[in-house]
Amino acid sequence: MASLELRKIVKRYKSQTVLDNLSLTVADGETLVLFGPSGAGKTVLLRLVAGVIDPDEGKILIGGDDMTDVDAEFRGVGMAFQNFALFPHMSTFDNIATPLEAKRSSPGAIKAGVDSVAKLLKIAHVLSHKPRALSNGQKQRTALARALVGSPPLLLLDDPLRNVDAKLRFEMRLELPRLLADRGATVVYVTQDYKEAMALGDRIAVMSQGVIRQLGTPEQIYREPANIEIARLFGDPTINLLDVKPARDARGIYVGLSNVQVHLAEASETAIGRDCIIGLRPEALHFVGENEPGAIPVTVEAETPLNEKIVTLVRTVRGREILVSRPAGTLGRNEGKAHIAVDGKSALLFDHASGERIGARNVVKLRNGEAA
């Protein structure tokens, strides 16, 4: 099998730096998700690994071997493209068979290989069709089958679910982890969908502007985002962000929310007296009775029942809007005056000026490619 190691990769297009001194290691058999907004350099990174474009600086190691100057056809990786990139003049069978043909497999072996992967991906019935006769879902599965068929030790998946409909995306999100785990391959998976990232990744690398901003398990990224930007990208409904100035009293560090003191269990001393932004996940807020300690008075503005949860928009006495999420079937308020309480343990504090999380403990932070 194959691990992947990128050392200080730099890629520039004209004067623009797309990847800036980026280092990354993916362990053998691990699924790493590259997550970030478009233009972050995810796709460029994947293509560098595949060998279809060359880095300006840095080294690419696959399975410990330096592959920086090795042509794409000798790297032995599999790749699925966002736009599928099927060969329009070949049948689905021939499309999937191309990596096996390159290995000069016998016709029998090619047929067996294609049939088994087609069966796995449920496209066995369309093998004789040309790509234009396929639905988007079938195209996507064909592209995936073509990437998988040669059993490459390193699999690169460039947002393969981007162009398929919501239902199929949901199905594939459930199917893919098992599929990838069965193969035992090392996987680099690019996506812009945080749910996909959380569902598929052993680890997630959050990229923006050619730099990895945070690298960690889905749990770490969600619980301990390195900055406001990342906190905002993960989570639906999005995190509530409010301006605060933490202070200290006998019971510890607290922030004032609508004149109510909310104590933060794990806040850092360095936050005291600074202009901060507090991040409150909607599910870290809950409705409470008026007399509970820490109850903040709010007015309910609107309630949106989703399938598994109910999201309520409330307004504080200072006029700030906050989203509260609770599992469906639990009690809450859907109109008028109400009170909410904050789970002080899960509150996140960010520096107002830089957006960095304050007291980011246990977080693997990467800046300019060097692990801190």
Partner 1 sequence: MEHTSLLERILRGVALTLVVIFFMFPIVWIFMMSFQTNETILRIPPQLIFEPTLANYTALITGKLMTAAGTLDIAFMRNLWNSVFLSVTSVAVSLLLGVPAAYAFARHKFRGSEDIAFTLLSFKFAPALLVLLPLTLYFQKLGLANTYIGLIWVYQLICLPLILWIVRGYFEDIPADIEYAYRIGGHSWFATFRKIALPLAGPGIAAAGLLAFIFAWNNFVFALVLASADKQPVTVGALAFITSSGIQYGQISAAIVLSITPTLALALYAQRYLVEGLSLGAVKG
The answer to whether the beta carbons of residues 11 and 17 sit under 8 Å apart is: yes
Q: Which stretch binds partner 1 (CB under 8 A): 100-108, 202-210, 301-309, 360-368?
A: 100-108
Q: Is 306 near partner 1 (CB under 8 A)?
A: no
Given 7, 11, 42, 75, the residue binding partner 1 (CB under 8 A): 75
Q: Is 364 near partner 1 (CB under 8 A)?
A: no
| DSSP character string of 319-343 | S-EEEEEEETTS----SEEEEEEE-
Task: Find where tokens 């193969």 sit.
Answer: 183
The C-alpha atoms of residue 125 and residue 139 are separated, in whole angstroms, by 13
Please give the biggest Cα pair distance in the chain: 78
Give per-residue burial for 204-218: e unless 16+ CB within 10 Å, then b.
Answer: bbbbbebbbbbbbeb
Given 7, 47, 169, 339, the residue binding partner 1 (CB under 8 A): 47
CB nearer to partner 1: pick between 42 and 286: 42
Q: Is 77 near partner 1 (CB under 8 A)?
A: yes
CB nearer to partner 1: pick between 83 and 330: 83
Q: Is 55 near partner 1 (CB under 8 A)?
A: no
Neighbouring C-alpha atoms within 13 Å toward the C-beta of 250: 0
The C-alpha atoms of residue 150 and residue 101 are separated, in whole angstroms, by 10
Q: Is 120 near partner 1 (CB under 8 A)?
A: no
Q: Is 83 near partner 1 (CB under 8 A)?
A: yes
Given 40, 60, 79, 120, the residue binding partner 1 (CB under 8 A): 79
CB nearer to partner 1: pick between 96 and 253: 96
Q: Is 99 near partner 1 (CB under 8 A)?
A: yes
The C-alpha atoms of residue 350 and residue 343 are separated, in whole angstroms, by 17
Q: Is 14 near partner 1 (CB under 8 A)?
A: no
CB nearer to partner 1: pick between 65 and 101: 101
Q: Which stretch binds partner 1 (CB under 8 A): 3-11, 12-20, 65-73, 323-331?
A: 65-73
CB nearer to partner 1: pick between 143 and 212: 143
Q: Is 73 near partner 1 (CB under 8 A)?
A: yes
Q: Tell me how far, at minimum, the Cβ of 96 lies from partner 1, in Å.
A: 10
The answer to whether the beta carbons of residues 29 and 80 sit under 8 Å apart is: no
Q: Is 102 near partner 1 (CB under 8 A)?
A: yes
The C-alpha atoms of residue 253 and residue 188 are separated, in whole angstroms, by 41
Q: Is 169 near partner 1 (CB under 8 A)?
A: no
Q: Residue 262 is encoded by which pair of tokens?
A: 């909310």
The C-alpha atoms of residue 158 and residue 315 are separated, in whole angstroms, by 41
The answer to whether the beta carbons of residues 345 and 285 sit under 8 Å apart is: no
Q: Is 113 near partner 1 (CB under 8 A)?
A: no
Q: Which residues of this protein are in contact with partner 1, per CB under 8 A?
A: 47, 50-52, 71-79, 81, 83, 85-89, 98-99, 101-103, 146, 150
